[in-house]
Chain A
Amino acid sequence: MAAESEYFQRDRALQPPAYTPAYKTSVTRSPSRALLSLANSLSEVTGPVFGHAELGALDHDLVRNYARTGDPIGPRIIVHGRVLDENARPVPNALIEIWQANAGGRYRHKKDNYLAPIDPNFGGCGRTLSDAEGCYFFRTIRPGPYPWRNYINSWRPAHIHVSIFGAAFAQRLVTQMYFEGDPLIATCPIVQTIPDAGAVDRLIARLDLNESIPLDTMAYRFDIVLRGRRSTLFENRLAGN
């Protein structure tokens, strides 16, 4: 197995810096010293492996996984896409976990006290594993925008939080998926922590009418790219013993 190869260096120009003062919370939570660059060892090129047996049959279906008296309120959507690496190879068996507000912009969370109501039929989280081609899908409802305390009048664009495990701890990623056409994206201090316009654009899911189910559910497409790995053309002293 040629699994010991190293991962490409993370391209920090496409990632938000730690200190982004327009997103105020980052000011006291950002390391002020440079990160120490570490060549990959076994500790970085390994990571937890998850199996289908750990997930429930409805874990990927947010329309049904917390339904009590009926379906949740809001536009029914499918979110689907592929998990690829930077070499455009599919990443199979990637654990993808999502969480989101309900259609009114309210989270089912002890600490969220926004006045929009909790939806009794919506939990707001789901999880799945990508298949052999890296494909994944969720069914959910479209989340609403909501206010937050950054500036007095700050509103988050509608978004779904996404957490992904690839094959290695070095590929671990948390991000947020936005929706095509949302006017709040351009002014959101969290979105705008990302310095590269192309990188922002790739966080915006596109309406995918081809995958939409007529008279039932619209689809959005969101592809996820994890770090790629070098080919093992020559040994680079990674393997031990």
Chain B
Amino acid sequence: MTKLDYLHETASQTAGPYVHIGLIPNQAGFDIYENNFSNVLAGQATKGERIRIEGCVFDGTGTPLRDALIEIWQANAAGRYNHPADAQQKKKLDPDFRGWGRAGTHFETGVYAFQTIKPGAVVGRSGRPMAPHINFWIVARGINVGLNTRMYFSDEPDANGKDPVLNLIEQETRRDTLIATREETKDGVLYRFDIRLQGERETVFFDI
């Protein structure tokens, strides 16, 4: 076989138990950077419905991971990503929304949380709309390659029913693993989204 002159992607390694030092040093227990990346994506001027996302990442025994790190990436309220590759010109960029954040799970409870806005629908491949969703990336001790998944919204049943990615999941019952449940609390709208790494209700993870 002819050997083509491509480089090979660098191999992944686990983020390990001390991932906080590098990515969220405040949680590791010290203050070093002036500007810290955080789990708050929406500022005062950001457009859109304020939401909180909360959940746990469970291992195969049902125990929450207390040392996981999660990053999310999402479109703005109009359904546009703040990135040059998103050419949906009819939708406005929101200068007050990057659409990215990171959070560690709590050292005792294992709960993670994000404060953000609900994204709008983004156009998918072939112009088919995708239901509103947030992209998740999970790393931790014991995870050799970061895991990609998506969170959809329980109050979007019609859009979810037509979503081209959810419809790729052959076992319909597994689609539910990607749908966060909406709750109205006294502090506002909360979506609960638990991630299960393994077992009966294992979350659907993607090879993107």
On whether the beta carbons of A169 and B73 are closer than 8 Å, the reply is yes
A189 and B37 alpha carbons, distance in the complex (Å): 31
CB distance from B177 to the nearest CB of A (A): 10
The number of chain B residues with a CB under 8 A from chain A is: 84
- Name the interface residues of A78-96: CB closer than 8 Å to any CB of B: 84-88
* 8 Å CB contact of B207 from A37, A42, A108, A127: A37
Kindly state the separation between the CA atoms of A109 and B28 in the bound complex, as whole angstroms: 5
Q: Contact at B9–A241, with CB atoms within 8 Å? A: no
- A97 CB–B CB distance under 8 Å: yes
Contacts of A130-174 to chain B: CB distance below 8 A? 161, 163, 167-170, 172-174
B11 in complex: contacting residue of A98, A124, A200, CB < 8 Å: A200
Residues of chain A contacted by B202 (CB below 8 angstroms): 31-33
Q: How many pairs, one residue from A and one from B, have CB atoms within 8 Å of each other in the complex?
A: 281
Is the interface on chain A under 10, 10 to 19, 20 to 34, or 35 or more residues? 35 or more
**A109-B28, A169-B137 are known contacts. Are A15 and B12 too (CB-CB below 8 A)?**
yes
Q: Which residues of A lie under 8 Å from residue B11 when comparing CB positions?
A: 14-16, 175, 194, 196, 199-200, 202-203
**B83 CB contact (under 8 Å) in A38, A46, A174:** A46
Known contacts being A25-B142, A48-B73, A238-B125, is A107 close to B18, with CB within 8 Å?
yes
Q: Which residue of B lies closest to A200 (CB)?
A: B11
Stretch in contact with the other chain, from B43-51, B86-94, B110-118, B185-193: B86-94
Check A42–B81 contact: CB distance below 8 A: yes
CB neighbours of B82 from chain A (8 A) = 46, 48-49
Q: Does B208 contact A (CB under 8 A)?
A: yes
The 3 closest A-B pairs by CB, nearest first: A99-B22, A240-B123, A25-B142
Q: List 18 interface pairs A-B (beta carbons < 8 Å), by A numbering.
A: A14-B9, A23-B14, A31-B198, A36-B169, A37-B206, A42-B85, A42-B124, A44-B135, A48-B73, A48-B100, A98-B22, A99-B18, A107-B18, A108-B29, A109-B18, A163-B22, A202-B10, A238-B125
Q: Hey, which bits of chain B sit against chain A, CB under 8 A?
A: 5-23, 25, 28-30, 32-35, 59-61, 63, 65, 67, 71, 73, 75, 81-88, 90, 98-100, 107, 122-128, 130, 133, 135, 137, 139-148, 150, 165, 168-169, 197-199, 202-208
What residues of chain A have their CB less than 8 Å away from a CB belonging to chain B? 1, 3-4, 10-12, 14-18, 20, 23, 25-33, 35-49, 54-56, 59, 65-66, 84-88, 97-99, 107-112, 123-125, 127, 161, 163, 167-170, 172-176, 190-191, 193-194, 196, 198-200, 202-203, 224-228, 237-241
In addition to A45-B85, A110-B107, A194-B13, 12 A-B residue pairs with Cβ atoms within 8 Å of each other are A16-B12, A29-B141, A30-B143, A40-B208, A41-B165, A56-B34, A84-B7, A86-B6, A99-B21, A174-B12, A174-B14, A226-B9
